[in-house]
Structure 1
């Protein structure tokens, strides 16, 4: 997922909330100039959940 860097705080807050609920997720935020990229990882058993997050 890629969004404007101005949304980085909102995206980080979402990652924290998801981490509290589902600690098996790994979230990585890449700040790249005017954009922020979110990378989501999870075990294979949770692939469907990752697909739902990124849809």
Structure 2
């Protein structure tokens, strides 16, 4: 059995990004994470465990 990957869905990208800057504004952070619910995680791993 080869490597497997799991993609977990979550909240979509926010309409607005809020951030704080000091002095020079270089823009928002380049990496932002979404929150996944327990049911999203269960669904993603459920397919891997019980194909």
Higher share of residues assigned strand: 1
Higher relative contact order by CA 8 Å / sep ≥ 6: 1 or 2? 2
**TM category, shorter:** under 0.3
Larger Rg: 2
Higher share of residues assigned helix: 1
